[in-house]
Chains A and B, each alone.
Chain A
Amino acid sequence: MDRRAFVRRSCLGGVALFLDHWGTSPAYGQDLIPPVPPIHVNEPAVTAVSPQRMPGLYPGRVVEISDDRSIVSNRVSQSIVRQMIDRGMRELTGEQDPGQAWSKFIQPQDTVGIKINPSGAPACCSSPEIVREIVAGVQSAGVPARNIFVYDRYAYEMDIGSYQALVPMGVRVTGVEENKLDVSGYDPNIYCEANFFGEWETRSYMASIVSTGVSKIINVPTMKDHSAAGVTGCLKNLGYGTFNNVDRSHRRPFSFTDPLIGIMCSVEPLRSKAVLHIMDGTRMLWHGGPLSQNPDFIFPAGVIMVGTDPVAMDTIELEKIEAKRRDEGAPSVWSRDPKSLTNDGGAFYQDASKNLFYRQPHHIAAAGKLGLGVSDRKQIEHQVIHIA
């Protein structure tokens, strides 16, 4: 028998966020997007709030480390990303010793999940080189390799990225879904429920590896445009990478990634376990995300961002992708021009002026309103360190 106590939250994101958005999101104001239905959350009762739960130990703080040598000829340099992550962890925590920095988040008795983003594999996904350095950092905090899981929802995407072969020995590489429509890897007691478009299954369940398998999560998103969410960063990688049946929140040209992404990230125990985010910006996919393999849209940005506040980090990511799109002459991810919409996936993957959805970058600010972090740019402490 499952002895965990559960509580049901209702309308947290649905009505409350929707009303709040009405005045700020141009799409809602122009009646371009249908109303958000109520979203119900069933989650375990939290008896004590973890001080590390998002936005974590350093709300509003983003450390960005850049080094042009981190990616050369489309290859990520192991030694350079090691220096970048060491520096980022020390700057974030104020510790001189990288091992001490990791110990701020991870204890020897922890079982640690490293949530990668393989969805753009092989062209743009969490670099195995960065994952290796994170494994080394977790091990430096005293966690044995067998208690480290590199995971994502989709086993086959991890397979395309060859993560099984490329991570250190002893580390477990786990896909939540091995088989089509396989729900065995999900916790039936923790879910978000909403009927967006009349779909037959209205629940999205939390992955069991998150609810019961690990005690801490290190989130490793990539820096990417997202055709529905605007960008995919810390929040999207965590929310939609934890719950199943999330594709149903999109139906062209509409998407309810705002507010569903933030609501999912707020569900316990995900919110408490995700203690650190290390964003892989060695490659930036500035159009065609999350799956595009088109090298024309992949830019060697040479950046890694470190923080505990996913909202602040995604706010900076959004700024960077917007800037790059501007440089490339592509429309803003905030664009609501119906003329930019296409139903032709081929056109979307070849033409940066086209999109499949009205993008929803407002999901970041919505997550901020749920207490997951700081989205007000003026309140974000963005430290930029350019090594070389």
Chain B
Amino acid sequence: MSPELVFPAVDLRPILPMLVIALTAGVVLVLDLLPPRERKDHLGFVSALGVVAALVVTYWMTFSTGGGELRGFRGMVVLDAYALFFNIVIGYATGLVLLLSMDYIRREGQESGEFYILVLLAALGMMLMAAAGDLIIVFLGLETMSISLYVLAGFFRTRVEAGEASMKYLLIGAFASGFFLYGIALIFGAAGTTNLDRIANAVAAGAGRDPLLVVGLGLLLVGFGFKISSVPFHMWAPDVYEGAPTSVTAFIATGSKAAAFAALLRVLLTAVRGAPADWPMLLWVVAALTMTVGNVVALAQQNLKRMLAYSSIAHVGYMLVGVVAGGAFGNGSVLFYLLVYTFTTAGAFGAILLLERAGQEAVRLDDFGGLASRHPLLAVALSVFLLSLVGIPPTAGFVGKFYLFGAAVKSGYVWLAVVGVLNSAVAAYYYLRLIVYMYMREPEGAPTVLAPSFSGALALAVALWGVVQLGVAPGPLFDLAQAAVVPLLR
């Protein structure tokens, strides 16, 4: 008598958006083997279409489920409003990166189908992190994302900096994964489970005082700290950002950061909320340091990709202000800021990657001298993105910061908000310096030329739309972000 095989009823709805991305990746993989083999444009378009489909599915699920949550795989995957909001962020990031990459990688002579597949797989990992209901799934998503990004960072094989970027990213990433995994092990030791909800129960039952859990949480925070590049775990960011292809840099800065924040917030809010550990005070210090170090070091940068790397560190600091503030308002503003930051940063990197000078990418400040008289539209677009990074109204960056610092003031962290706004004033100097170069200097030397790219222009238009629309009418999406975190706070 053989034992009867019982197939559990598998509900695929909780992974529907991810499924769309995975299927697209599969389709692109097959299409890559079919002719035409010399041009790969269509692969980029198919990938972008897949992302659009995932976005549509996400929007549809957001409005059809009405705030309910779908759990699958024995609570390992949770597709709730929170995960769906992050799917939107990640979807926009991936879509923008794909559009920006198409002509760019051909221009650099590195066009291949693998690029698009890796971007899609990274996006899959990111979405998985956002929907993880279990630390193991967080780790699974983290690795899926990271390994794809390690390869993408070194995609321009012929460049020395690309090798450095990829190697550094891999080594430091592996290091971070080690911390992360060890943290999971310790938490498992203390709580007897890796499921976030059951950890919360164990914490409520008294495991929160277990030193094992406290140390485990600390190690998890270190792992997340690496991924979001907060001080003191930020050292890899400038080198990786500089060496990676610019569109991949944009992806690392937006998508991977959003995914890491998604998992970080979910762990902090659901699993260890009852733990007596004083993590808000710890994060207060980390936030203040991250903002300050990022902005001060960015002042000295001549290479735009490095400058934006330090600026992205500073922006992580601003977002941590929202995490410290906590509550629906604070965490909602972090979610909202991630969306704002995605449009802004993808746009800024996108504008930079469309330019080249003497066959090289134009990434140095003096490459932008007098750009406004040569390419007025691009200069205007880049200026809008920079002003959004400074936080000047009526761009999205202003509203985002307004919410973040508002949350800090609301929760009584007035001085953290003061540190934040003073940092914004420092940051204004280096963002505006690029505007000075574009508008107030004459071009010198070889001309900086604009590489024609329809998909790139489309990406910039989408990013510009996002920055302006979220700046002028932020209400609906902020309400969505806030509604997404409310269920986690129960």
Bind each other: no
A residues apposed to B, CB below 8 Å? none
